[in-house]
Homo-oligomer: A and B are copies of this chain.
Amino acid sequence: MTYPLKADRGMLVVKSIYFFDEGDGTNKRLLGGKGAGLCTMTQLGLPVPPGFVITTEVCKRYYEAGGKLPDGLMKEVEAAMRKLEKFTGKRFGDPKNPLLVSIRSGSMLSMPGMMDTILNLGLNDETVGGLVKLTNNERFAYDAYRRFIQMFGKIVLGIDAKKFDEVFEEQKRKSEAKVDTDLKAEDMEEVVNKFKKVVREETGREFPSDPREQLRLAIAAVFASWNNKRAREYREFYKIPHDLGTAVSVVTMIFGNMGADSGTGVAFTRDPATGERKLYGEYLFNAQGEDVVAGIRTPLKITDLKEKYPKLYKQLLDIDEKLERHYRDMQDVEFTVERGKLFMLQTRAGKRTAQAAVKIAVDMVEEGLITKEEALLRVEPTQVEQLLHKQVDQKAKVKVIGKGLNASPGAAIGKVVFDSERAKELGNKGEKVILVRPETSPDDVGGIIASQGVLTSRGGATSHAAVVTRGLGKPAVVGCEAIKIDLENRVFEANGIKVKEEDIITINGSTGEVILGAAPLIEPKMTKELLKLLSWSDGIKKLQNWANADYPSDAKRARELGAQGIGLCRTEHMFFEEERLPLVHQMILRQTREERKRPLEKLLKIQRSDFKEILRIMDGLPVVIRLLDPPLHEFLPRYEALLEKVLMGRIGGSKPDELKAAEELLKRVEAMRESNPMMGLRGCRLGITHPDVIEMQVQAIFEAACELKREGRNPRPEIMIPLVGHANELKVVREQLERVAQEVMEKYGVKVQYKFGTMIEVPRAALTADEIAEYAEFFSFGTNDLTQMTYAFSRDDAEGKFLFQYIEQGILDADPFQTLDRKGVGKLMQIGVELGRGKRPDLEIGICGEHGGDPKSIEFCHELGLDYVSCSPFRLPVARIAAAHAALRAKAERERYL
């Protein structure tokens, strides 16, 4: 992605500072998300406190200079402040009518809570007096002053927040105040003095009283916060470039804590959990904005404003309507009411659950706000994935031990952990954990990522935990006051039940329930909006979506979920079923073709009925059936178990007959053992050494197809020969199987529409695809094995032993078994497609590895021009959306070059 860097509307010169009425609201790269929103709202005529933005370019210059504000910047800032003084009629540092400002960070891409904001800047021992007079509220003024010193001390001067907290708590004890509001003006004044002492002691200098000095330091501190650890980690997780930089907005202070006719709130223009079209959010009386977001006091539902403050509610509705029409998307706004007057402080596209994303996108199409294409692009494939998360079975009897806010939907089961370090520790070992905290802070992001879900006892629907989990698509229950957390003893109590660390709980983010133990889960249901969206994707995507299905039940599900074919029907799974295994053992252990005849005949019957059912379900659609692939010893008892049995038997544990049989079997298994079975006697190699087995399979497939054909159906089997590395392998096996196919069709007197083809899963197959295409009517990239061979990664070994370390150390960007490695494996695929189509232009090409359900990999397959991607049935909705995205992105890309 590249973001065009526009100067501002119609201008080519990039200034360092833009006032809200002049900045280009579409240029988030330059102005940051927050600054751009303030400009847009100002220009839309909405009530916004006056202010200006210092651009991200200045931030870049700050870093280029090694962390120093650019020369001359402060002169420009001071000029801007003079302009702001004119706007507001107040003066910065004026003891009588002081201009106070907030300093807000804001980068192009939203990083909620990751960077710092400083409120009430401009206060000092003189100006606080002016504030007292202006507001006629001494307590308010000193509260604002102590908040400013606290924030400034922590953020700008780097003093440990605890130092201030201790002083404040001490003051509360001393004044016998239960809550903050019990503190009086003189208490606050005392706190201010004590805070200044803290600053003196911690920094060896006086608290800076000059507002200009405060401003300079605050701007520099916001720029510096771009590179704090939390922010860097967040960007790394979300793959946000580190060089975007943050803008700084300087905004005239509005106070939500000026009494009962003041307040502050956040609102979504639609319900971010369900997508329903209604105002959704929270409002806190007599509070500053940070109080809502931090989730410390439990706020009022915004809908409650309708009755209590109908005028304010109406005004909010109008503003939201205007913003949605402008942005054509659901907005998340922050606002403050100062003595009855509403000011908008922020607007941005609202984070939403997957369910909401789908509903909003579909609704907006129907409201005429956006096109179907836009709607599709509004829903990330990963969000669709979340919708397919399992849910708690509502019919199951479960032990509900508490109920909180259903902040992020889906069900999660895991061991309770009480801090993020522990969550990361266990989570990275592959254990499933639920992070349980009183509330979460930006420092917890790593722990949240490592957890299955989050449970908090405090905070609302817009608290940190709620916002972050929704973004990550992880279930969360927040503000569950029923649970009492004892961090010290690593236990929580809920309705008399004690839950210790590592006990298992289930959280239901869709209902807010907290359940003891592991609740039974069920498959999710598709909403009508999702079905609509999926149907739109079909008209747009170029790739077909096929599914991997080994059993009739899978095939049925796949067809219901829109599969346009079966891309992989693995026949070996059919062999593992209990009643079949003895036959399979006979087939393997008997040495001559003659001896194997009986068990093969029995297996033939079974396989025929398996195939018939699948082909019947997929009537009219292609079904790619892969012939036996794994090494035969996989069907036999494990060598180690047999060895143990024999050794124990020899010492007298079993009858001579049994011992002899076990010894015999051990010998056979030993002879079949391989040092690297993945690269041993399997796939088409079996077809060459044990031709009768795959002949049986092909006979079964064609008999099934012929029977269906006679019933008037249209079966379309495609026979896939695995592990081909040399064209001659395919040639030999195909000739042998083609003969069987012809014999069966002659016997039945019908013609079936069929293909023969191969997996491309060995590097050599891709490299010699032209030769292989001579004998193949289709290719199916087996990207699991192809990745293993291309990287020389045995997945079984690598994932436990070093792959995680590779990803953690940044050696690999991603797990190549989840997201196709474009540069290596992808290059082989490209070679394979070019050579294959060069030889046989109508070659059908697809992919049937797990990557067929991964959005990034699907995008790559679209670029390669494959015919289809095949994935597990349950991932079909993800894959269908991803295929549509790929087509839309490619179209946009093409248009950009036209």
Query: With a CB–CB cut-off of 8 A, which chain B residues contact A640?
Result: 639-640, 643
The A contact surface, by secondary structure, is helix
Contact A794 B679 (CB under 8 A): yes
Flag whether A774 is at the interface (Cβ < 8 A): no
Flag whether A592 is at the interface (Cβ < 8 A): no
Determine which residue in A685, A792, A793 has the highest number of CB atoms from chain B within 10 A of its CB, and name it: A792
Flag whether A186 is at the interface (Cβ < 8 A): no
Contact B797 A763 (CB under 8 A): no
- Out of B674, B726, B729, B761, name the residue touching A797 (CB < 8 Å): B674
Flag whether A805 is at the interface (Cβ < 8 A): yes
Contact B828 A797 (CB under 8 A): no
Complexed CA–CA distance, A761 and B801 (Å) = 21
Flag whether A725 is at the interface (Cβ < 8 A): yes
- How far does the Cβ of A491 sit from chain B's closest Cβ, in whole Å? 32
Select the stretch in A113-121, A328-336, A806-814 that faces chain B.
A806-814
15 interchain pairs, CB-CB under 8 A = A651-B651, A678-B792, A678-B794, A679-B788, A680-B801, A681-B802, A723-B792, A725-B793, A764-B790, A764-B821, A767-B790, A767-B827, A767-B828, A771-B823, A785-B792
Flag whether A609 is at the interface (Cβ < 8 A): no
Contact B763 A680 (CB under 8 A): no
Query: With a CB–CB cut-off of 8 A, which chain B residues contact A801?
Result: 674, 680-681, 685, 689
Q: How many copies does the complex hold?
A: 2
Complexed CA–CA distance, A793 and B726 (Å) = 12
Query: With a CB–CB cut-off of 8 A, which chain B residues contact A791?
Result: 725-726, 762, 764
Query: With a CB–CB cut-off of 8 A, which chain B residues contact A574?
Result: none
Contact A794 B825 (CB under 8 A): no
User: For this complex, into which size category does the number of interface residues on chain A fall?
Assistant: 35 or more
- Out of B675, B723, B792, B802, name the residue touching A796 (CB < 8 Å): B675
Contact B688 A809 (CB under 8 A): yes
Complexed CA–CA distance, A785 and B676 (Å) = 13
Complexed CA–CA distance, A482 and B14 (Å) = 105
Closest A-B pairs by Cβ, 7 of them? A676-B794, A680-B797, A764-B824, A679-B794, A674-B797, A728-B811, A762-B792
Complexed CA–CA distance, A831 and B647 (Å) = 52
Closest to A682 in B: B792
- How far does the Cβ of A220 sit from chain B's closest Cβ, in whole Å? 34
Complexed CA–CA distance, A558 and B404 (Å) = 77
Flag whether A134 is at the interface (Cβ < 8 A): no
| Sample of 5 further A-B pairs with CB below 8 A, known A644-B647, A689-B805 | A676-B796, A726-B812, A764-B821, A768-B823, A768-B824
| A620-649 to B contact mask, C-beta < 8 Å, 1/0 | 000000000000000000011001100110
- Out of B725, B762, B792, B794, name the residue touching A675 (CB < 8 Å): B794
Contact B797 A677 (CB under 8 A): yes
Flag whether A798 is at the interface (Cβ < 8 A): yes
Query: With a CB–CB cut-off of 8 A, which chain B residues contact A768?
Result: 823-824, 827
